[in-house]
Amino acid sequence: MTREQALARTEEPEPEAGPGAGLVAATRLGRQLAANLASVVRGAEDACRLATIAVLAGGHLLIEDVPGVGKTMLAKAVAASVGTTLARIQGHPDLLPSDITGVSVFNEATRSWEFRPGPVFSHVVLFDELNRTPPRSQAALLESMEEGQVSADGRSWSLPDPHLVLATQNPVEHAGTFPLVVSQMDWFLLATRIGYPDARTEAALAIDQGALPMLSALSPVASPSSLAAAQREVGAVHVTQPVADYAVAIVRASRARAEVRLGASPRAAIGLLAAARAEAVLSGRDYVVPGDVKTTAPAVLGHRLVIDRPGGSIGRGATMVEELLASVPAPRP
């Protein structure tokens, strides 16, 4: 599918005249990215949109689902669409932290220790099956996500900007996993499931022999620099006090629930507004409306709650957030 076709499929109206050119460019970039992703990972428009939001907001994305539904494909599509290199790390129990961050080797020629950057030093990092990695290695990755830099040999190495980590994980009920601890979960801006495609899409996928052909046909819609500009644009989106209050109310409501053992952190509120900003840009607005907060809240908060309820870890969190949203009054203009 060409870029023009992908554009023609988008249903949102073109951003109205009025907002600055930067916003128009950011909106266009976001929509093209979403369309690109959707053309590859078919039948998972929501996940694609959330991935786009994560990219625009400069946050990291956690995709949780059973194997074979296109987690990796989505991550690859993101990398391809942003037009950068993709570093891929396959999680397994023997993975060492240095396999991620890099390792210092002794250079015989210069007779000095030299840092060989690991796969984390790239714009888009795909970390497959994060929860099959032992906690030590998880911690190494998460530190890099948190700090935006890697410390090795007493030196700090900055990660490239923009920097996006896409991690996938299997649902925790499956055997042989190391579940992520809550504090690490918190560093992912969004978490989503992809879900099984519907019967028709699945049949189409089977005929097309998966999504690989689509992936190879994908053309980049952004460069690292244009993406950085779009991210700046997202950061400049206006948030009024009532909307911020609404976001905070949702976060606080999550802590008040009896079933929730651990509610969302203040960082979650920041993340919620960041995602809402990106959502606003995707809708062609330079201001956040309560609907943006409401739409993104399940994905932003779902994985951060520790709750007492059966079901998939992210799925049940998202369900809980939906319930929360049904009890927090929306602001009235």
Partner 1 sequence: MSPAARRRPRCAPDRPALPVGLAVALLLVWGAVAHASGSGWVQAVGALVTGLVLVGMLGPRFALRRLVVEVTDSDRDGTAGAPAVLELVATSSCRVTPLRPGGAPTSLAARRPGRLELAPENRGVLSAVTVRLSSAAPLGLLWWSSTRRLELPTPLVVAPAEEAAERLPLAAGEAEEAAGAAELTDAGVLRGVRGYEVGDSPRQVHWPSTAHTGTLMVRESETERDRPVKVVADLLGEVEATERLASEAMGTIGSLLAARRSVILETIEDGVVVVAQVADARSAGRRLARAGTNPWADLGPPSPGVGGR
Partner 2 sequence: MTTLAERVRRANAPTPPEDSVMFRVATTVAVLAGILAAQSVGELNPLLALLATVTVCVGMAFSYLTRAHPHQWVKLVLALSVLGVFAFFVDSILSAAHTGELASIEVPLAGLFSWVQMIHAFDVPSRRDLLFSLAAATALVTIAGAQAVSGSFAPYVAVWLVATLIGLGCSWRSMTGERRAPGARSLLGALLVVFLVALMLLVVLPAPRAARGLSLPASLTSYLPLVGSGIVNGSGPHATEPARAGKPGGRIGVGGYLGFQGPLDTANRQSLGNEVVMRVRADRPGYFLGLTYDTWNGQSWLHSRTDRGTSILPGGSPFQIPARPLAGPQGSQNVQTFYVEKPLPNLLFGTSQASEVYFPSRSLVVGNDGSIRTPVAITPGTVYTVVSVDNEVSPATLARDHRPIEPAIADSPSIRAALQLPYRYPRVHALARSIVRRAHARSTEAVVQALEGWIGAHTHYSTDIPPLRPGEDAVDEFLFGNRTGYCEQISTALAVMLRTLHIPAREAIGYVPGPFDPLSSMYEIQAKDAHAWVQVYFPGYGWQNFDPTAEVPLAPPNAGMALLAEVGRRLGRLPWTPIGSVAGAGVLAAGATSAERRRRRRPKGWAARAVLRLERLGARAGEPRRPTETLAEYGSRLEAALPAPHLAAATAALERRAYARDGGRSAPGDADLVRAALAAVSARSHRLTRWRRRAQTKARRARS
CB under 8 A: which stretch of 63-71, 98-106, 198-206, 288-296 binds partner 2?
Answer: 288-296
Q: In the beta sheet, which residues pair with residue 38?
A: none
Residue from the set 153, 161, 308, 322 that interacts with partner 1 by CB under 8 A: 308
The minimum distance between CB 325 and partner 2, in angstroms, equals 6
Residue from the set 165, 286, 315, 318 that interacts with partner 2 by CB under 8 A: 286
Residue 289, interface with partner 2 (CB under 8 A)?
Answer: yes
Q: What is the DSSP letter of 210?
A: S
The alpha carbon torsion through 224, 230, 231, 236 (nearest 10 deg) reads 160
* Cβ–Cβ < 8 Å for 115, 104: yes
* Cβ–Cβ < 8 Å for 68, 196: no
C-beta of 167 vs 318, nearer to partner 1: 318
Q: How far is CA 325 from CA 193, 252, 298, in A?
A: 19, 11, 9
Residue 330, interface with partner 2 (CB under 8 A)?
Answer: yes
Residue 288, interface with partner 2 (CB under 8 A)?
Answer: yes
What residue type is 104 in one-letter code? S
Residue 325 interacts with, from partner 1, partner 2, none (CB under 5-8 Å by kind) = partner 2
Write phi, then psi, for 166 (nearest 5 degrees).
Answer: -110, 115
Q: What share of the chain is helix, strand, coil (3-state, %, to 5)?
A: 50, 15, 35
What residue type is 3 in one-letter code? R
Residue from the set 68, 213, 242, 266 that interacts with partner 2 by CB under 8 A: 242
Hey, which residues between 107 and 136 contact partner 2 (CB under 8 A)?
none
CB under 8 A: which stretch of 59-67, 78-86, 149-157, 283-291 binds partner 2?
Answer: 283-291
Residue 333 interacts with, from partner 1, partner 2, none (CB under 5-8 Å by kind) = partner 2
Q: Which helix (H) or strand (E) holds 320?
A: helix 313-325
* Cβ–Cβ < 8 Å for 119, 77: no
Residue 290, interface with partner 2 (CB under 8 A)?
Answer: yes
First-to-last alpha carbon distance for the chain, in angstroms, is 42
Residue 174, interface with partner 1 (CB under 8 A)?
Answer: no
Residue 310 interacts with, from partner 2, partner 1, none (CB under 5-8 Å by kind) = partner 1
d(CA 292, CA 24): 18
Residue 22, interface with partner 2 (CB under 8 A)?
Answer: no
Query: What is the three-class DSSP state of 155?
Result: strand
Residue 328, interface with partner 2 (CB under 8 A)?
Answer: yes
CB under 8 A: which stretch of 1-9, 10-18, 229-237, 307-315 binds partner 1?
Answer: 307-315
Interface mask toward partner 1 for 253-272; x: CB under 8 A: ----xxx-------------
Residue from the set 13, 154, 176, 310 that interacts with partner 1 by CB under 8 A: 310
CB under 8 A: which stretch of 30-38, 202-210, 215-223, 252-260 binds partner 1?
Answer: 252-260
Quote the tokens at residue 312: 């998939």
- Contacts of residue 58, Cβ cutoff 8 Å, sequence gap at least 6: 162, 164, 231, 234, 274
C-beta of 25 vs 325, nearer to partner 2: 325
The minimum distance between CB 207 and partner 1, in angstroms, equals 29
CB under 8 A: which stretch of 13-21, 56-64, 113-121, 309-317 binds partner 1?
Answer: 309-317
Q: Which positions touch partner 2 (CB under 8 A)? A: 16, 18, 238, 240, 242-243, 285-291, 294, 325-333
The contact set with partner 1 (CB under 8 A) reads 257-259, 308-311, 323, 327
